[in-house]
């Protein structure tokens, strides 16, 4: 069977940008910029982008494109013992998509509530009370919250129809769902800058607070944001790279994807802070207080601001269509990573059936987040899988390509197919910089989590988070060692 391919280079770029640009750009980036020193945050952000983000993205595109397979089979080709690393990445992708789809389900409920501006009286009560029906704490699971459950089912049906014909259906979808949210963002920007107070928001966004740069937390936040926003370490970009022709350009596509993604983040910062500036003015509250609301930014603060402006239902509708169309490309890119992982091992299986299987399981795995304690579970899964599984995969894939396969060998391939070559700095980034920086981040995080456990969760709940890291890690490490020994026994001279 011939491997599926993107119909054109533009479609590939749209799909890759669609995966990268998601909820991470619209609420996470502005929130972090607000929290960590406004314009000053851009310094560690840019350093993380150049030092880790771009080299790793290039690595993932190159691995997928050269091997013409998804994460599991590609890693196996790099070194026969390393299919386990692919399994780890794909498993983590599954956990992420199972909760990412739930955030989209909330957006869908907000979209429906836009017509009546359900949150206009009390945006916080609407989010926690009406939408989440949140329980007192994680010990009270409180049964299923049916509206979220049904919205989740609808989101999964939509995801299924995006991926069921592979690159063909994905290609058709991204042609609309990638440009559309950017256009909506531009409309919201124009709305924002015609409101009083927007400059206060921009001032806060742009005026750097350089003192923040001595805070190590700012640096950890910048690096993990780059990881998340570029969809690195979960097999997505490898799968997408594998649908390119093996002689397509890699260097230019990497820069285009990364720069478009960061450009859209910066742009959405202007939108979010203009609207926050407006809300701060009419509520007579300082902008930093609003900006520091974290996860509440997209579902409490921003909707509240929307409900205060003229033509509120229309702008609310546009905002939630934007969130949904942004989110869906990221969500199905994770499903694509899982599909590719499975289909490369079982090439005779039917794509539509595998997609149905993955989407059904994704939905079932997401049911826990549709309970009344769902937000707590989501917070724990997000925190552990992103921070640990992502970093671990990042470290190991840099070691695998840099040291075991050979960075220079991969760089030669990249340069053979690319118009503009990448310099030797790429080897240094892959072999030294990335393993060292990511290990340091991992160690900082581990120390923080061991000395002061995350959130105010009971031990049983946090152990679920640790289980998402430790169980697949142990299984995959055991598999890797077993394969390694088997190979060693078979051909000792190669070791």
How many residues contact ligand PHE, by CB under 6 A?
15
Q: CB nearer to ligand PHE: give 372 or 383.
A: 383
CB of 129 to ligand PHE, least distance (A): 26
Binding status of residue 155 toward ligand PHE by CB under 6 A: no
Distance CA 70, CA 76 (A): 10
The SS3 call for residue 447 is helix
Binding status of residue 19 toward ligand PHE by CB under 6 A: yes
CB of 188 to ligand PHE, least distance (A): 18
Distance CA 135, CA 376 (A): 9
CB of 231 to ligand PHE, least distance (A): 3
Q: CB nearer to ligand PHE: give 98 or 333.
A: 333
Q: CB nearer to ligand PHE: give 67 or 237.
A: 237
CB of 387 to ligand PHE, least distance (A): 13
One of 6, 234, 302, 376 touching ligand PHE (CB under 6 A): 234
* Nearest CA-CA partner of 229 in 382, 17, 429, 401: 17
Integer CA distances (angstroms), 171 to 154, 162, 183, 250, 254, in order: 21, 9, 19, 19, 19
CB of 285 to ligand PHE, least distance (A): 28
Eight-class DSSP state of 248: S
Radius of gyration of the chain (CA): 22
Write the interaction track for ligand PHE spanning residues 323-342; mark x where CB under 6 A is met and - where it is not. -------x--xx--------
Distance CA 327, CA 332 (A): 9
**Are 185 and 355 spatial neighbours (Cβ–Cβ below 8 Å)?**
no
One of 236, 254, 316, 370 touching ligand PHE (CB under 6 A): 236
Binding status of residue 376 toward ligand PHE by CB under 6 A: no
CB of 309 to ligand PHE, least distance (A): 26
Q: CB nearer to ligand PHE: give 21 or 134.
A: 21
Binding status of residue 262 toward ligand PHE by CB under 6 A: no
**Are 373 and 141 spatial neighbours (Cβ–Cβ below 8 Å)?**
yes
Q: Which two tokens stand for residue 383?
A: 């925190």
What burial class does residue 231 get, using C-beta atoms within 10 Å of its C-beta: 0-12 exposed, 13-18 middle, 19+ buried?
A: buried
Q: CB nearer to ligand PHE: give 19 or 397.
A: 19
**Are 431 and 403 spatial neighbours (Cβ–Cβ below 8 Å)?**
yes
Q: CB nearer to ligand PHE: give 26 or 437.
A: 26
Eight-class DSSP state of 363: H
Give every CB contact of residue 17 below 8 A, 6+ residues apart in sequence: 178, 256, 257, 260, 261, 264
CB of 243 to ligand PHE, least distance (A): 16
Binding status of residue 239 toward ligand PHE by CB under 6 A: no
**Are 430 and 407 spatial neighbours (Cβ–Cβ below 8 Å)?**
yes
CB of 26 to ligand PHE, least distance (A): 8
CB of 361 to ligand PHE, least distance (A): 17
Integer CA distances (angstroms), 150 to 83, 147, 330, in order: 36, 5, 21
∠ CA 74-244-343, nearest 5°, is 45
- Is residue 247 left, alpha or beta, with left meaning phi > 0 and alpha meaning psi from -120 to 50? alpha
Binding status of residue 25 toward ligand PHE by CB under 6 A: yes
CB of 459 to ligand PHE, least distance (A): 28
One of 11, 13, 14, 23 touching ligand PHE (CB under 6 A): 23
Binding status of residue 24 toward ligand PHE by CB under 6 A: yes
One of 83, 169, 224, 231 touching ligand PHE (CB under 6 A): 231
One of 11, 17, 20, 392 touching ligand PHE (CB under 6 A): 20
Binding status of residue 229 toward ligand PHE by CB under 6 A: yes
Q: CB nearer to ligand PHE: give 145 or 265.
A: 265
Binding status of residue 18 toward ligand PHE by CB under 6 A: no
Integer CA distances (angstroms), 374 to 52, 112, 130, in order: 33, 21, 14
Among positions 77-116, residues that touch ligand PHE (CB under 6 A) are 96
Applying CB under 6 A, the residues found at the interface with ligand PHE are 19-20, 22-25, 96, 228-229, 231, 234, 236, 330, 333-334
């Amino acid at each position: 069977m011939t491997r599926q391919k993107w119909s054109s280079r533009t479609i590939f770029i749209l799909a890759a940008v669609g995966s990268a640009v998601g909820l991470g750009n619209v609420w996470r980036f502005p929130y972090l910029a607000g929290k960590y020193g406004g314009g000053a945050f851009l310094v560690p952000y840019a350093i993380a982008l150049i030092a880790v983000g771009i080299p790793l993205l290039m690595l993932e595109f190159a691995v997928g494109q050269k091997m013409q397979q998804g994460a599991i089979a590609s890693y196996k080709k790099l070194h026969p013992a390393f299919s386990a690393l692919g399994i780890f990445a794909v498993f983590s992708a599954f956990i992420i998509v199972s909760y990412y789809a739930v955030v989209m389900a909330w957006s869908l409920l907000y979209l429906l509530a836009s017509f009546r501006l359900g949150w206009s009286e009390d945006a916080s009560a609407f989010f926690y009370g009406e939408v989440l029906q949140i329980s007192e704490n994680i010990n009270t699971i409180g049964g299923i919250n049916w509206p979220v459950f049904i919205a989740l089912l609808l989101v999964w049906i939509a995801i299924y129809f995006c991926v069921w014909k592979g690159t063909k259906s994905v290609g058709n979808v991204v042609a609309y769902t990638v440009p559309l949210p950017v256009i909506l963002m531009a409309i919201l920007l124009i709305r924002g800058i015609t409101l009083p107070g927007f400059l206060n928001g921009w001032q806060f966004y742009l005026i750097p607070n350089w003192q923040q740069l001595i805070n190590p937390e700012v640096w950890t936040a910048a690096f993990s944001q780059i990881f998340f926003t570029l969809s690195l370490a979960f097999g997505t970009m490898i799968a997408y790279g594998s649908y390119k022709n093996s002689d397509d350009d890699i260097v230019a596509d990497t820069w285009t994807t990364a720069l478009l993604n960061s450009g859209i983040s910066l742009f959405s910062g202007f939108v979010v802070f203009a609207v926050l500036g407006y809300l701060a003015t009419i509520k007579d509250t300082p902008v930093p207080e609003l900006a520091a609301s974290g996860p509440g930014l997209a579902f409490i603060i921003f909707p509240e601001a929307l409900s205060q402006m003229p033509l509120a239902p229309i702008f609310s509708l546009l905002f939630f269509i934007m969130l949904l169309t942004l989110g869906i490309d990221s969500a199905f890119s994770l499903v694509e990573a899982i599909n590719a992982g499975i289909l490369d091992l079982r090439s005779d299986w039917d794509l539509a059936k595998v997609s149905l299987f993955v989407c059904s399981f994704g939905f079932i795995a997401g049911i826990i987040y549709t309970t009344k304690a769902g937000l707590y579970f989501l917070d724990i899964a997000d925190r552990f899988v992103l921070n640990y599984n992502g970093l671990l995969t990042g470290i190991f894939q840099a070691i695998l390509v840099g040291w075991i396969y050979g960075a220079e060998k991969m760089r030669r391939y990249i340069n053979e197919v690319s118009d503009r070559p990448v310099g030797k700095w790429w080897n240094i980034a892959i072999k030294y910089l990335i393993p060292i920086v990511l290990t340091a981040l991992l160690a900082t995080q581990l120390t923080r989590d061991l000395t002061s456990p995350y959130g105010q969760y009971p031990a049983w709940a946090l152990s679920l988070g640790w289980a998402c890291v430790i169980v697949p890690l142990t299984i995959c490490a055991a598999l890797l060692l077993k394969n390694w020994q088997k190979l060693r026994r078979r051909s000792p001279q190669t070791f």
